[in-house]
A and B are shown apart, each in its own frame.
Chain A
Amino acid sequence: MPKSRIKVLMIAFELPPFNSGGLGEACLGLTKALSQHVDITFLLPTKLDYPYTHMKLIYGDEFLKNKRRRPDKVFKGYENTPYQNLEALGIETVSKNMVERAMLEDFDIVHAHDWMAVKTAMQIAEKKQVPWVFQLHSTEIDRSPIEYLDRQKYDLEKLGVERASRIITVSNYTKKIVQQYFCNTDNIDTVYNDLTIDNNNFSEALPIDRPIILSLGRITYQKGLENLLKTARIVVDKVPEALFVIVGDGDKTRDLIEYSGTLGLSGNIVFTGFLRGKEKELIYNSASVFMMPSISEPFGLVAIEAASKGIPTIISKQSGVCEVLKGSKIVDYWDSEKMAKYILKILENKKHRAKIIEEQNKSLKNISWENSALEVNRIYNKILR
């Protein structure tokens, strides 16, 4: 075991508040806890105004002349995110800049998050002759139907799995996917995510006297929301006042809205688009049930978030979070009938509802970033011993 604190170069492509999904949130939560044990230098592609002091932040475009830093063309939806460079300059250029920047730093180990960081991490690790850890928060197998896999992303993930000194997955569910679809290896540790809960005392709810069934997240193939609408149809037939609220946006939004028409859900469904801040809190405070029917979800932080708001959750068996969130009703993502049954029971039976919340609360106590950080630190030490 090294005598001084381990120096880690962590590489990811997003951090809040400029993030598009759970990856940034997970990186932030992990580094906050991990910085108690190791020194972290966090490498991002683009310099943006991040408000963090628990680690050193460095950027691929930090020392570049303005002309090379700013891409000419920023793709819609990627404005002011680290991805504006990735999409416009191409991953090769961005990665090259990041490698150059990293060479100016001193570290013992590299820790890379998701496919975008694979090439960068490999080059840095090779040049510096240090080991590297590859952490998978999601895989292409989760994100797309098998016949529509994005080969570039899949190949990078496979490369990472094969070449990294050690692999971290966010659940045993994802570990199995990696073993089945990428490389049958035991060189994998599972480290669960947790949620950084901001304890606000905001308790205002919507003045709607109807049971709200909530789902929240990007509207993509992976999220399995078509099955949620099928469930909605069954529930609404039994409880006509049930109101399904779909928070989020994504490439499947239009299809989903048309499907809502097919199932005759107008008047029982609300598509809110992407929400944050007070509006998101209002919706959480008004929800009777939270649904995460993902077709494949490596972890599913949003279920932890919902549980921490005291909402009974129904989550798909094809998720990582069901390994840790006890009390939650677990169901196969395709089983709309069962989802409906669970929703109806929660709506009808107060005792049942209270029991779920109680169990969820109990298991929330056992999930913490502190435990995850200790685990990651142990992995570093094992590699560097």
Chain B
Amino acid sequence: MRKICLYLHVHQPLRLKNLSIFDISYGNPHTLSHYIDEKTNEKVFNKVAQKSYLPANTIFKRLLEKNEKFKINLSITGTLIEQAKKSNLNVLDSFAKLTKTGKAEILAETYYHTLASLYSQAEFKSQVKLHAKMIKKIFNQTPISFRNTELIYSDWIAQMVEDMGYKNIITEGHEKFLHWKSPNYLYTSNTKKGMNLLLKNYKLSDDIAWRFSNKGWGEYPLTAEKYLHWLDFTPGDTINLFMDFETLGEHQWADTGIFNFLESFVNLATKNGYEFINIKESGKKLKTVGHMTIDQVISWADEERDTSAWNENSMQKDTLEKIYSLEKSIKQKKNKSLLKLWRIMQTSDHFYYMCTKWFNDGDAHKYFSPYGTPHQAYCNFSNSLISLNQIVRR
């Protein structure tokens, strides 16, 4: 039986307040609310909850309960959970209902959705542990599968993950680094023990995530039948559909028909000989076809599939270097809220806002940014650093 691995990433950052020089060290710098734009965060969270999390989870719950062969994989960041706890407990509850079916697997990742894997091994491990602890507490699951922020991957990152005891890992499957190899098989990571490695089928994933509602697309409108037909003609053991959860209802609005599509596709696929799997079962349900060596650092982002959306230009390099250079002095302070603030400032989104790659094109980067320009994002981050420093220096 052919497999489909559906994996959805659930994340919202804790956006930072626009601190000007006149705000620095005003108020009580020890309260996180001085730094975090709670109003915007709550507004965005509630919007996405209504448009995406709640309606999609209603469908997923129904599918998980009624369709025996349907399973789902999720990663949920700590920054999202915190906002859900604060703004809308129904959201948390809707995810918990999925995990209670025993068919929704939650993956491990960094709690604050950071690039720590690239900058500090110790910090990376701390954040992954922190995340696993939270997942255990809220969903009563101990993750054994791992997804790094933005599916950032390299053999040496995989080794760090394996050393922490994880058995399964996922990343991007682009021909840039797969060459003649297909993403539609199970591979073994190029690490000491070898983890089960699943690769994103980016073409079929992006048909849903990016092209679904594009009326200029030759295949518009996409129906469940047509999509399944494509899957039938795709060789391999497994089709790995990896995307942001917010694709459902937020990037592709409800009126595009995305929810109906999803439900009919799942039911049609399982009727036609497909089985949805959890990532933790990949070793049992699939046969590995060999080792996969990835010596460069890859990700699932942009055409480049590298980390240039976060750390290419001078503003990003500068701020990333600064925030991680504070590790020692922050940890020495042994101040919980200071440590938390430092970690919140590591969230990759802050650096994504500084990306100048397609600054003038009004593309996805701009869509997600609360700032007018990447330069404003940098200036604001610099002001937040100055404010953070005011506490560190005390």
Contacts and interface: CB of A to CB of B under 8 A. Distances in A.
Nearest to B388: A267
Nearest to A286: B21
Interface in A159-211: 206-208
A258 B26 contact: no
A267 B322 contact: yes
Interface string B364-394: 0000000001010011011101100110010
B25 interface: yes
- Most chain B beta-carbon contacts within 10 A, residue among A267, A269, A270, A279: A267
A282 B25 CA distance: 14
Given A257-B375, A269-B382, A270-B382, A206 B315 contact: no
B314 A258 contact: yes
Contacts, number: 72
B318 interface: yes
Given A243-B386, A258-B314, A270-B383, A207 B26 contact: yes
B318 A266 contact: yes
Interface residues of B, number: 28
A144 interface: no
B379 A264 contact: no
A74 interface: no
Q: Is the interface of B mostly helix, strand, loop or mixed?
A: helix
A269 B385 CA distance: 10
A260 interface: yes
Interface in A302-342: none
A258 to B, nearest CB: 5
Nearest to A264: B318
B19 to A, nearest CB: 10
A267 B315 CA distance: 12
B319 interface: yes
A206 B21 contact: yes
Contacts of A87: none
B321 interface: yes
A382 to B, nearest CB: 49
A279 B20 CA distance: 11
Given A207-B26, A266-B319, A270-B21, A258 B385 contact: no
A261 B316 contact: yes
Contacts of B48: none
A208 B24 contact: yes
Interface in A231-282: 241, 243, 245, 253-254, 257-272, 279, 282
A263 B378 CA distance: 13
B182 interface: no
A94 to B, nearest CB: 32
Contact of A261 (B314, B383, B386): B314
B206 to A, nearest CB: 31
A58 interface: no
B378 A257 contact: yes
Contact of B25 (A207, A262, A283): A207
B313 interface: yes
B215 to A, nearest CB: 33
Interface string B284-317: 0000000000000000000000000000011111
B378 A266 contact: yes
A266 B373 contact: no
A266 B389 CA distance: 11
A77 B69 CA distance: 61
Contacts of B180: none
Nearest to A253: B375
Contacts of B393: 241
Contacts of A260: 315, 318, 378, 382
B21 A259 contact: no
A265 B314 CA distance: 10
A283 B389 CA distance: 19
B22 interface: yes
Contact of B389 (A245, A259, A267, A279): A267
Given A243-B386, A267-B385, A257 B322 contact: no
Given A206-B22, A206-B24, A258-B315, A270 B386 contact: yes
B21 A283 contact: yes
Contacts of A261: 313-319, 378
A211 to B, nearest CB: 13
B322 A262 contact: no
Contacts of B322: 264, 266-267
B376 to A, nearest CB: 9
B39 to A, nearest CB: 22
Contacts of A265: 318, 382
B314 A262 contact: yes
A272 B20 contact: yes
Interface of A: 206-208, 241, 243, 245, 253-254, 257-272, 279, 282-283
29 contacts: A207-B25, A208-B21, A208-B25, A208-B390, A243-B386, A254-B373, A257-B375, A257-B379, A258-B314, A260-B378, A260-B382, A261-B317, A261-B319, A262-B314, A262-B318, A264-B318, A264-B321, A264-B322, A265-B318, A266-B318, A266-B319, A266-B322, A266-B385, A267-B386, A269-B382, A270-B382, A270-B383, A279-B22, A282-B22
Interface of B: 20-22, 24-26, 313-319, 321-322, 356, 373, 375, 378-379, 381-383, 385-386, 389-390, 393
